[in-house]
Amino acid sequence: MPRKVALITGVTGQDGAYLAEYLLRLGYQVHGLKRRSSLFNTNRIDHLYQDPHIENRNFVLHYGDMTDSSNLIRIIQETQPDEIYNLAAMSHVKVSFDSPEYTANADGIGTLRLLEAVRLLGFANKTRIYQASTSELYGLVQEVPQSEKTPFYPRSPYAVAKLYAYWITVNYREAYGIFASNGILFNHESPIRGETFVTRKITMAVARIALGMQDVLFLGNLSAKRDWGHAKDYVKAMYLILQQDKADDFVIATGVTTEVRDFVRMAFGEVGIELTFTGEGADEKAFVKSCSHPEYQLPVGKQVLAVDKAYFRPTEVDLLIGDPSKSKKVLGWEPEYDLKGLVKDMMESDIHLMKKDKYLQDGGYRVFNYFE
């Protein structure tokens, strides 16, 4: 059997890294689109790197950008992929309010460029396309829980751009018969999650606070509720979505929702620190109530959390909770991690990383990366 060829846009991101690892394990040749940047942006995939002089490499990176049609056409023509996973996006909801036009271009029109490239190259019957759609599409939710049938109500420039990407994917499927599917993924996190998303911001800060390297964690809306899963489980769903007989759209979620405030409690709980919360809204604070871990002892009553209104969003998504029944039934997808397992995985990794950071701060020197 010739090995299957996959092209992953956004290969340097959280999901791109896990998906590349997963597909390589399945025997695929994986091509990844990476952006040129003035500093290396390949930390998450450095362990997969293969020297260009190796014959018949199975992992190859190409410079490119979702805002550049001609480069997408060239890369697709050169690699002739059986499957394209379109994960590239300006993916930060709050930042999309600051860069709405760029977000629309990269996340919305970028998806159109990819679909058009496949069509123009005559690959409509060869190349299957996975589109990274999002639970942000539900925004001001019209139904609880949210399923494939729930109407969309996007609440940010990011979500509106992704709404275009969702529908243009459906349209190319219906108009040209391209195998193009949307995965409507609810929030998924991991030890390699971007450091400005709330879960990773919390686990990194908790690790630093426990080690005496940070004083207080500043967050925005503590009452927002999210359906959080583990990215390792979610990339398996992406793969399954492209292995079906028929292109279709699927919700991928755990079906459990949790407040940001409770994620904070759970993360501190992993280092044996119990919190008490006082106040409301912008005045809410959290203090150390007790410390049960011998290594992480903080003074009882110490403030560890405050709210900073700068992190509030002009329009917020208050509640997300997905109904994954269809993906469980049709794809046979079952996540391995629950929220407790996810928080534990992230906290263990960040404690490990911060201990090394502390070692460096204390004058030590050591080269390390996320996957050590």
* Residues forming the site for ligand GDD (CB under 6 A): 91, 93-94, 134-136, 186-187, 196-198, 201, 219-221, 224, 226, 260, 311, 313, 316-317, 320
Q: Is 187 in the site for ligand NAP (CB under 6 A)?
A: yes
> In the annotation, is 136 catalytic?
yes
* Closest CB to ligand NAP among residues 127, 182: 182
Q: Which does 154 bind (CB under 5 to 8 A by kind): ligand NAP, ligand GDD, none?
A: none
Handedness of CA 196, 197, 198, 203 (dihedral sign): negative
User: Of these residues, 21, 136, 189, 270, which one is catalytic?
Assistant: 136
- 11-19, 23-31, 75-83, 364-372 -> range binding ligand NAP (CB under 6 A): 11-19
CA geometry: angle at 317 spanning 17 and 274, to 5°?
A: 75
Q: What is the total count of residues that contact ligand NAP (CB under 6 A)?
A: 26
Least distance between ligand NAP and beta carbon 166 (Å): 11
Least distance between ligand NAP and beta carbon 172 (Å): 17
Least distance between ligand GDD and beta carbon 82 (Å): 26
Among 7, 23, 66, 238, binds ligand NAP (CB under 6 A): 66
> In the annotation, is 158 catalytic?
yes
Residue closest to ligand NAP when measured from CB atoms? 13
β pairing state of 83-86 and 128-134: parallel
User: Of these residues, 18, 28, 158, 166, which one is catalytic?
Assistant: 158
Q: Is 65 in the site for ligand NAP (CB under 6 A)?
A: yes
Among 76, 87, 109, 137, binds ligand NAP (CB under 6 A): 87
Which position has the token pair 């701060």?
A: 361
Among 23, 48, 132, 205, binds ligand NAP (CB under 6 A): 132
* Closest CB to ligand NAP among residues 10, 157: 10
Least distance between ligand NAP and beta carbon 297 (Å): 34
> In the annotation, is 274 catalytic?
no
β pairing state of 273-278 and 229-230: unpaired
Q: Is 15 in the site for ligand NAP (CB under 6 A)?
A: yes
- 53-61, 63-71, 243-251, 277-285 -> range binding ligand NAP (CB under 6 A): 63-71
Residue 192 CA from chain centroid, whole number: 9
Q: Which does 41 bind (CB under 5 to 8 A by kind): ligand GDD, ligand NAP, none?
A: ligand NAP
Least distance between ligand NAP and beta carbon 109 (Å): 10
Q: Which amino acid is at 119?
A: R
- 184-192, 279-287, 288-296, 339-347 -> range binding ligand NAP (CB under 6 A): 184-192
Supply the residues annotated as catalytic.
134, 136, 158
The footprint of ligand NAP (CB under 6 A) covers 9-10, 12-16, 33, 35, 37, 41, 65-67, 87-91, 106, 132, 134, 185, 187-188, 194
